[in-house]
């Protein structure tokens, strides 16, 4: 026995424990903890990523100011990226969660045959490389591609949409149909707020961004369906039996048993969905590189572009930490909101 | 006969409401089945059409993507399949990238199997000072979004001179917090008595771990191996920041993505589709063989995560 801070440990266990944990702990220390500390320091410099970091100049908070407060292209790009990312999250997260839940509830029905087949079909996209899926979607969404072909077959008069190169925003397009354009809109929409005009803020996701959103919904719904399915199978059957004896319909049972029992799972699925969406990167890299007209510029893509294409590692590191703070606070906020409701 | 159980139910006449709800239930069942089939098709068809078109000539892909068979017929009247895309893939850098992808994925998989289980076992069974703090630290790293690590990883690898090296690709991802967490949970579910018995027989901790605990952990280790392999096989961001300027070290996803970059607006869809199929195939085979473990693993991740 060995004493440490007033506690006694088995000598052999202590040595084995330290030796067993050491390799993994070293990997985390060297490639995760130290680099993050390093990157925080880099975010206060103008390091270009090429010369030795010791030659970089300290710039104080300049990188953060350029992104957040100082009017200019970097600020307007950052808020453009924030806007695009937020539209992306709002479009993708609720849709994929609802779709995954719907599919899971259907697959979970007792009368359904070939459950295994459906589970496999829905899960398969999640094991495929994001680059491959992006390429396949690009091919499907080209002007002469299958998506336009399919829509053209259903609606004969359809004028093919150029999905991958259309910067017009969804809300702008809807307003346009109602006769509201920038020209006819009142003057106040031209007011600049945080680098963008109000008109730009309310653009909605561009057509190209919508294609990428569809891609993400298509890929992740399956994984989330499998998670929901596992949770559904854990709900005790007698709850439903009791409800049916009391005369509840299937619909009623869904709202008063299934949904409340699934609340922790929904929280989990929404959280990982949101964290994933805020980081959307691979798809942007392959499909659009932030274009057309910066409408698919996302914060994650900006981190890469600033650091590796514009050789401004300081700005890139600052962008990454702002993104981290956004994701972190949203997770906490969500935990608080749903957590409170769970106690009722 | 009239007193038998099914007849008992019918003793009370069906009200209109009962009948309506019966009809409604059937309608809902049919509708939900239709919904399910539509979405299943939406999931499968993109892959079917990609595979089919990868065996067509480039002009045929561009003109008739909706046809599953090539438009041209050979002299015997059979569809004239083209393997031009696959030929280009085989002639280019793909064989090299396939090798790299296997090397990367297998290295990550093996190191996760060793490091994650060792660490998981230490956290589950071995008492040492600071164990709880280490555990919290490891769980904490799961909260850090991958994209935030992009710049820090590049910086440290550059400082260590590991940019454009295979070691630089593998070392940073040799241990994985989720795997450690999963193994810890699993080891805690094994009854302690088995290890105690081995200890009485004079085995040391390493022997107990290697000879007693590990052989009992096949389900968890299989899930760990699958996650490790899959993560590395599909990984795009790590190769992108570590080896993007050395073509000989590309993995398949990186190679495909950068090929697309060089292509500009001239898309050789035959090559891209063939390359996509080649990239997906190994993972697909593993998936169909070990399907049960995938689904169990993801469910496990979902419930415990």
Residues of A in contact with B175 (CB under 8 A): 23-24, 27-28
What does pLDDT average to over chain A? 90
Measured in degrees and rounded to the nearest 5, phi and psi for residue A302 equal -65, -35
Q: What is the mean pLDDT of residues A124-132?
A: 93
A195: left (phi over 0), alpha (psi -120 to 50) or beta: left
Q: Are residues A39 and A138 in the same domain?
A: no
Q: Does B140 touch chain A (CB under 8 A)?
A: no
A9: helix, coil or strand? Answer: strand
Whether chain A has a CB inside 8 Å of the CB on B269: the answer is yes
**Pair (A77, A28) in one structural domain:** no
Instruction: Please check whether residue A5 lies inside any domain of the structure.
Output: no
Q: A15 in the Ramachandran plot: left (φ > 0), alpha (ψ -120 to 50) or beta?
A: alpha
Domain coverage including residue A93: 65-169+204-343
**Domain end marker among A23, A40, A64:** A64
How is residue B129 written in tokens?
A: 């000072």
Write the DSSP assignment of A51-78 as a string of letters: S-GGGPPB-TTHHHHHHHTS-SHHHHHH
Residues of A in contact with B298 (CB under 8 A): 123, 126, 223, 226-227
CA distance A55 to A62: 17
On whether both A24 and A158 belong to a single domain, the answer is no
Domain final residue, candidates A24, A44, A64: A64
Instruction: Tell me how close the Cα of A136 comes to any Cα of chain B, in angstroms.
Output: 7
Do A251 and A298 lie in a common domain? yes
Give the pLDDT confidence score for residue B20 in this predicted structure: 80
Indicate if A88 and A42 belong to the same structural domain. Answer: no
Q: State the pLDDT confidence band at B11, using cuts at 50, 70 and 90.
A: low
Q: Buried b vs exposed e over A70-99: b needs ≥16 C-beta within 10 Å? A: eeeebbbbbbbbbbbbbbbbebbbebbbeb
For the packed helices B269-289 and A130-141, what is the interaxial angle rounded to 10 degrees? 130
pLDDT tens-digit readout, A155-206? 999 999 999 999 999 999 999 999 888 888 888 888 888 989 999 999 999 9
Kindly give, in sequence order, each residue whose CB lies less than 8 Å from that of residue B187, ignoring residues fewer than 6 positions away.
Answer: B120, B121, B124, B125, B213, B217
With contacts defined as CB-CB under 8 Å, which chain B residues touch A5?
A: 129
Residues A47 and A141 both lie in one domain? no
Asked if pLDDT for residue A340 goes beyond 60, the answer is no
- Overall average pLDDT of the A139-163 stretch: 93
Inter-chain CB pairs, A–B, below 8 Å:
282
Lowest mean pLDDT of A139-143, A298-302, A316-320, B193-197, name the range.
B193-197
Residues A324, A277 share a domain: yes
Instruction: Please tell me the distance from the alpha carbon of residue B80 to that of residue B22, in angstroms, as a whole number.
Output: 53
Q: What pLDDT score does A339 carry?
A: 61
Do A293 and A220 share a domain, yes or no? yes
b/e code B73-93 from CB counts within 10 Å (16+ = b): eeeeeeebebebbbebbeeee
Instruction: Tell me if A294 is assigned to some domain.
Output: yes
Which pLDDT score, from 0 to 100, does residue A283 have?
A: 95
Residue B38 has pLDDT above 50, yes or no: yes
Closest in B128, B151, B260 to A316, CB measured:
B151
Q: Quick check: A262 and A231 in contact, CB under 8 A?
A: yes
CB atoms within 10 A of CB A1: 7
Q: Could you give the number of structural domains in chain A? A: 2
Using CB atoms, pick whichever of A119, A313, A324 lies closest to residue B145: A324
Which of B25, B27, B98, B155 should be substituted to probe chain A, the one whose Cβ sees the most A Cβ atoms within 10 Å?
A: B155
Are residues A301 and A291 in contact, defined by beta-carbon separation less than 8 angstroms? no
Q: How far is B176 from chain A (nearest CA, A)?
A: 8
Residue A341 pLDDT exceeds 60: no
pLDDT tens profile A316-338: 999 999 999 999 898 888 878 76
Question: Per the CB < 8 Å rule, is B39 touching A103?
Answer: yes
Enter the ipTM.
0.90
> Which of A178-192, B129-143, B257-271 is predicted least confidently?
B257-271
Q: Are residues A74 and A147 in the same domain?
A: yes
Q: Among A45, A64, A83, identify where a domain stops.
A: A64
Residue A195 in any domain: the answer is no
- Residues A239, A143, single domain; the answer is yes
Mean pLDDT of chain B: 87
Inform me whether the C-beta atom of residue B162 falls under 8 Å from chain A C-beta atoms.
no
Shortest CA gap B140–chain A (Å): 11
**In the structure, what pLDDT confidence band is assigned to residue A30 with cuts at 50, 70 and 90?**
very high
Nearest to A39 among B65, B151, B299 (CB): B151
Q: What is the mean pLDDT of the segment spanning A47-72?
A: 91
Closest CA to A133 of A215, A244, A203, A33: A215
Which structure tokens are listed for A259?
């949904």
Q: Is the pLDDT of residue A344 over 70?
A: no
Report the alpha-carbon distance of residue A74 to residue A81 in Å, rounded. 10
In this structure, are A240 and A313 located in the same domain? yes
B110 touches chain A (CB under 8 A): no
Which pLDDT belongs to residue B300?
Answer: 59
A178 part of a folded domain: no
Instruction: With a cut of 90, say whether residue A287 has pLDDT above it.
Output: yes
Q: Cβ of A60: how many Cβ atoms within 10 Å?
A: 9
A309 DSSP assignment: I
Query: Is the pLDDT reported for residue A342 higher than 60?
Result: no
Contacts of A53 in chain B (CB under 8 A): 155, 159
> Is residue A125 a contact partner of residue A218, using CB atoms and an 8 Å limit?
yes
> Does a structural domain hold residue A174?
no
Chain B positions in Cβ-Cβ contact with residue A106 (cut-off 8 Å): 32-33, 35-36
- Residue B7: which pLDDT band, with cuts at 50, 70 and 90? very low
Same domain for A48 and A104? no
Residues 204 through 223 of chain B touching chain A, CB cutoff 8 Å: 204-206, 209
Please indicate whether residue A90 or residue A336 has the higher confidence score (pLDDT).
A90
How many whole angstroms separate alpha carbon A42 and alpha carbon B205? Answer: 43
* Contact at CB, A120 and B42, closer than 8 angstroms: no
Tokens of B92: 């280019």
Residue by residue, DSSP assigns A217-280 as HHHHHHHHHHHHHHHHHTS-HHHHHHHHHTT--HHHHIIIIIHHHHHHHHHHHHHHHHHHHHT-
What is the per-residue pLDDT for B2?
43
């Amino acid at each position: 026995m060995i004493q440490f801070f007033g506690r006694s440990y088995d000598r052999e266990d202590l040595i084995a424990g330290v030796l067993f944990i050491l390799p993994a702990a070293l990997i985390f220390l060297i490639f995760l903890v130290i680099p993050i500390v390093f990157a925080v320091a880099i975010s206060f410099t103008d390091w270009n990523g090429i010369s030795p970091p010791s030659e970089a100049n300290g710039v104080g908070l300049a990188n953060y100011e350029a992104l957040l407060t100082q009017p200019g292209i970097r600020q307007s790009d950052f808020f453009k990226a924030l806007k695009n990312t937020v539209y992306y999250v709002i479009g993708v997260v609720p849709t994929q969660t609802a779709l995954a839940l719907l599919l899971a509830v259907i697959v979970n029905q007792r009368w359904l045959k070939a459950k295994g087949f459906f589970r496999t079909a829905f899960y398969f996209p999640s094991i495929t490389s994001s680059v491959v899926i992006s390429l396949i979607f690009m091919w499907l969404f080209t002007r002469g591609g299958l998506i336009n072909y399919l829509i053209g077959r259903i609606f004969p008069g359809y004028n093919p949409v150029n999905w991958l190169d259309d910067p017009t925003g969804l809300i702008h397009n809807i307003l346009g149909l109602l006769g509201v354009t920038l020209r006819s809109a009142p003057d106040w929409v031209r007011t600049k707020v945080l680098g963008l005009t109000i008109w730009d803020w309310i653009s909605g996701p561009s057509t190209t961004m919508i294609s990428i959103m569809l891609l993400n919904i298509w890929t992740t719904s399956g994984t989330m369906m499998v998670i929901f399915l596992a949770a559904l199978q854990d709900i005790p059957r007698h709850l439903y039996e009791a409800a049916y004896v009391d005369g509840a319909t299937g619909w009623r049972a869904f709202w008063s048993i299934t949904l409340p029992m699934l609340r922790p799972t929904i929280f989990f699925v929404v959280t990982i969905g949101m964290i994933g969406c805020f980081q959307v990167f691979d798809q942007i890299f392959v499909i659009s590189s932030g274009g057309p007209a910066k409408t698919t510029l996302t914060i994650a893509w900006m981190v890469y572009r600033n650091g590796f294409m514009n050789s401004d590692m300081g700005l890139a590191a600052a962008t990454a930490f702002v993104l981290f703070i956004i994701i972190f606070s949203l997770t906490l906020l969500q935990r608080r909101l749903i957590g409170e409701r769970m106690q009722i | 006969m009239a007193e038998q159980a099914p007849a008992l139910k019918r003793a009370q006449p069906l009200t209109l409401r009962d009948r309506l709800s019966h009809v409604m239930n059937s309608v809902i069942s049919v509708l939900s089945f239709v919904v399910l089939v539509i979405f299943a098709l939406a999931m499968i068809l993109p892959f079917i059409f990609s595979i089919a078109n990868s065996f067509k000539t480039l002009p045929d892909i561009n003109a008739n993507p909706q046809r599953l068979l090539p438009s041209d017929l050979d002299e015997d009247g059979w569809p004239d399949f083209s393997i031009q895309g696959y030929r280009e893939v085989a002639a280019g850098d793909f064989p090299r990238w396939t090798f790299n992808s296997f090397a990367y994925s297998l290295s990550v998989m093996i190191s996760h199997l060793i490091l994650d289980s060792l660490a998981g076992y230490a956290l589950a069974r071995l008492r040492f000072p600071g164990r709880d703090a280490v555990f919290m630290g490891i769980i904490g790293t799961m909260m850090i979004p991958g994209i935030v690590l992009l710049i820090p990883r590049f910086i440290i690898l550059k400082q260590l001179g590991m940019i454009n090296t295979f070691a630089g690709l593998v070392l940073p991802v040799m241990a994985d917090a989720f795997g450690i967490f999963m193994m810890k949970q699993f080891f805690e579910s094994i009854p302690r008595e088995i290890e105690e018995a081995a200890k009485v027989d004079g085995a040391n901790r390493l022997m107990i771990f290697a000879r007693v605990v590990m052989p009992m952990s096949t389900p968890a280790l299989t899930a760990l191996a699958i996650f490790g392999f899959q993560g590395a096989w599909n990984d795009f961001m790590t190769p992108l920041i570590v080896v993007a300027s050395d073509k000989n070290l590309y993995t398949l996803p990186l190679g495909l993505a950068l090929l697309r970059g060089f292509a500009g607006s001239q898309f050789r869809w035959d090559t891209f589709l063939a390359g996509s199929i080649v990239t997906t195939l190994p993972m697909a085979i593993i998936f169909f063989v070990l399907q049960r473990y995938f689904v169990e693993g993801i469910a496990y991740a979902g419930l415990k995560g």
